[in-house]
Amino acid sequence: MKRLAVYCGSATPADPRYVDLAREVGTTLARQGIGIVYGGGKLGLMGAVAGSAMLAGGEVIGVIPQALVNREVANYDCELSIVSDMHERKAAFTRLSDGFLVLPGGVGTMDELWEAVSWAQLGYHNKPVGILNAFGFYDGLLAFNRHMAEVGFVRPAHQSIIMAEAELDLLLTRMEAHEPITPITSMNPDTL
């Protein structure tokens, strides 16, 4: 993996562990020679990931919609691409990265995560989707994903799309070993 799209919050939670985690991720990725494609802002976890990666000499590409340039305080210190909207932003994340790494975040992070998963199911990409479940932040989401699978809304062939680990090194190892799934577009319609 040469580059990962890193999805995380633009907010700064009161608990300092989250910003510390983001900084650790940015530094680790840079030291491992893995570039970052991210939301292009200087605030919150996004800013912490990008700033620490750049300090460690890593490649950082920011992709930010015009409407958020001032709101998220665009990071002109990295290679910055200003796009027209969120759809163009997420398409750029997919085009520029070799996988998706999800850190704690809010609604925007969830939107990006589920689109990466949905696009994998549909065959729009065959890249790994990894959740860094630090501090048990995503325990509820992972339980809900298992529930969707148990009920039958996630096909058996797609239950391995989301990889989740509490430790970054283990998650990166799993993502590196990623085996593409069979997308819906390649399945026999009679078995759907």
What is the pLDDT at residue 192? 63
Asked whether 61 and 89 are in contact (CB, 8 A), the reply is no
What is the pLDDT at residue 176? 97
Whether pLDDT at 190 is above 80: no
pTM for this entry: 0.95
How far is it, in rounded angstroms, from Cα 98 to Cα 128?
Answer: 8
Pick the CATH number of 3-177 from 3.40.50.1170, 3.40.50.450, 3.10.580.10, 3.40.50.1100: 3.40.50.450
Question: Each residue of 127-183: pLDDT tens digit?
Answer: 999 999 999 999 999 999 999 999 999 999 999 999 999 999 999 999 999 999 888
| 85: Cβ contacts below 8 Å, ≥ 6 apart | 65, 67
Question: Each residue of 6-57: pLDDT tens digit?
Answer: 999 999 999 999 999 999 999 999 999 999 999 999 999 999 999 999 999 9
> What is the average pLDDT score of the chain?
95
Asked whether 27 and 52 are in contact (CB, 8 A), the reply is yes
Retrieve residue 26's tokens. 């940015």
Strand order in the sheet with 100-102: 79-83, 60-65, 35-38, 3-7, 100-102, 129-132, 162-165
How is the chain split into domains, by residue range? Answer: 3-177
